[in-house]
Amino acid sequence: MSKNTSPTTLVMKFGGTSVGSRNAIEQVIKNVRKTRQEWERVVVVTSAVAGVTNLLVESAERAIVGDEVFISQAEKELLAKHFEMAEKLIHSIAQQAQLKQEIKYLSKEFSSICRAISILGEATPRALDAVVSLGERFSVRLLAGALQSAGLPAQYVEATNIVVTDDDFQSALPNLEKTAKNVQNTLMRMLMQRQIPVLTGFIGATEEGITTTLGRGGGDYSAAIIGATLPADEVWIWTDVSGVMTADPRLVPEARSIPELNYREMAELSYFGAKVLHPKAVRPVVEAKIPIRICNTFKPEEKGTRVINENDKAGKKADARQIVKAVTAIPRQRLITVEGRGMLGVPGVAARTFGAVASTGTSVQLITQASSEQSISFSVPDEASESVIASLYEAFSEELSQRDIDRVWASEEVAIITTVGRGLQDTPGVAGTIFSALGAANVNIYAIAQGSSKVSISFIVSAEDAEKAVHTLHHFVAAS
């Protein structure tokens, strides 16, 4: 990355696999050391060790039903996993003992919260956050310790003291103004002393100091928040693939990494299922005009993906080459339809429909409306469909009894398939070509929607057709 003004500031975020083993952390150390020779100020944000957050979530669920055997095994596993890595990565005996003490302390905290959950027989969102936040609290100590042991001036920082959020536990929203003050007071001060702050991703705290989390995969969001509030010159997301790829490499082995994307394309890609970057991570950096780079911890020599402003020269050049840049899939959805002749021209039906959906805490990913059939359809996650249908029945009980609304129903399981690329907005005929290709592949399309930012087109297809649809559409990427 080129840089012309100083001092330059970089946020580096490492995901779960990047801190998932001794070898991975050794690679992180190399990457931080090298980067620090090029950037004057470096802030590290870390995820929990791979698999740990899932284990914590499952533990909280098992605690609700009083599964004490599971909890005590999970506690042992947490201890063993972090101890083993500490022993391999921390060379000084005193430092290792200190770290082990802290790991022990956190695992005791884990078992006491789980015990409290099991006595109550329920876990509030606040209690869940207290449990799942432990993953990053373990890993931040381990990573900072390992960096120190390798001679780097790292210091761990709990994001509960930095990232101020609302009290929407499990999916908290940051208050950027208040966070910025803490960032200046704490992180900036550390950076000025040439330290490397190592921060827990994924977590924050309310103004009262109660721990919150930003939602699964939220470590990227933390990096963006810190990047925007410093502000940093760039944010680099280090993960286990070489950037954003033309499709999920687990689904399409021939997928290749995309050198450049603009912010709108990145936003659509992550919103429609490219797990490599959390959808909420895009906005803070766009607003602060900070470029993001997504790179591979294990292949740092590969360039990965750069996400930039579309007006940048390089971005424009890349856009001109490709119409469809990537294909994504979101499985396990259902299409909910509200239909009835009496809906035609009645104001407020859509507002009431989505009000009823929102009251269940479900967010809608895609909406289509067919006025000729007087229906509104939208997709929700499979597990939410029952409660959404119940809430719609309640909201429209009168219209249903008067037959103004004929039916409220959920489809079989479906998937949302999305093609993303800036060229989609101004290349005539491209949508038709895409439909024809899906038709030729015998993929039945249930609904279509164009992203509001115009750089994406989404299709609803049956669960069985999802993989075929992704492969068919990936040919367009490959051909460009």
Q: Residue 48 binds which one of ligand ASP, Mg ion, ligand ADP, none, with CB within 5 to 8 A depending on kind?
A: ligand ASP
Give 86 or 477: the residue with its C-beta nearer to ligand ADP: 477
214-233 residues in contact with Mg ion (CB under 5 A) are 217
Count of residues in the chain: 480
* Whether the Cβ atoms of residue 239 and residue 15 lie closer than 8 Å to each other: yes
Q: Residue 174 binds which one of Mg ion, ligand ASP, ligand ADP, none, with CB within 5 to 8 A depending on kind?
A: none
DSSP class of 203: E
Q: Residue 88 binds which one of Mg ion, ligand ADP, ligand ASP, none, with CB within 5 to 8 A depending on kind?
A: none
Give 48 or 420: the residue with its C-beta nearer to ligand ASP: 48
Size of the site for Mg ion (CB under 5 A): 2
At 458 the three-state DSSP class reads: strand
Shortest gap between Cβ of 434 and ligand ADP (angstroms)? Answer: 18
Shortest gap between Cβ of 214 and Mg ion (angstroms)? Answer: 12
DSSP class of 202: S
Reply yes or no: is the peptide bond before residue 347 cis, omega within 30 of 0: no
Question: Which amino acid makes up residue 237?
Answer: I
Q: How far is CA 133 from CA 64, 88, 162, 184, 412, in A?
A: 18, 24, 15, 24, 35
Give per-residue burial for 439-468: e unless 16+ CB within 10 Å, then b.
Answer: eeeebebbbebebebebbbbbbbbbebbbb
Give 31 or 213: the residue with its C-beta nearer to ligand ASP: 213
204 sits in the region (left: phi over 0; alpha: psi -120 to 50; else beta) called beta
Q: How far is CA 223 from CA 230, 256, 446, in A?
A: 11, 25, 37
Write each residue from 435 to 464 as x if it is in contact with Mg ion (CB under 5 A), else as -, in one continuous string. Answer: ------------------------------
Give per-residue burial for 202-240: e unless 16+ CB within 10 Å, then b.
Answer: bbbbbeeebbbbbeebbbbbbbbbbbbbbbbbbbbbbbb
Report the interface residues with ligand ASP, using CB under 6 A. Answer: 15-16, 47-48, 53, 135, 201-202, 216-219
Give 58 or 426: the residue with its C-beta nearer to ligand ASP: 58
Reply yes or no: is the peptide bond before residue 174 cis, omega within 30 of 0: no
DSSP class of 384: G
Give 276 or 357: the residue with its C-beta nearer to Mg ion: 276
Q: Residue 20 binds which one of ligand ASP, ligand ADP, Mg ion, none, with CB within 5 to 8 A depending on kind?
A: none
Q: Residue 245 binds which one of ligand ASP, ligand ADP, Mg ion, none, with CB within 5 to 8 A depending on kind?
A: ligand ADP
Shortest gap between Cβ of 207 and ligand ADP (angstroms)? Answer: 28
Residue at shortest CB range from ligand ASP: 219
Shortest gap between Cβ of 47 and ligand ADP (angstroms)? Answer: 5
Residue 204 interacting with Mg ion (CB under 5 A) = no
Give 159 or 356: the residue with its C-beta nearer to ligand ADP: 159
Stretch that binds Mg ion, among 148-156, 210-218, 253-261, 300-308 (CB under 5 A): 210-218
Report the interface residues with ligand ADP, using CB under 6 A. Answer: 15-18, 47, 217, 239-241, 244-245, 247-250, 274-276, 326
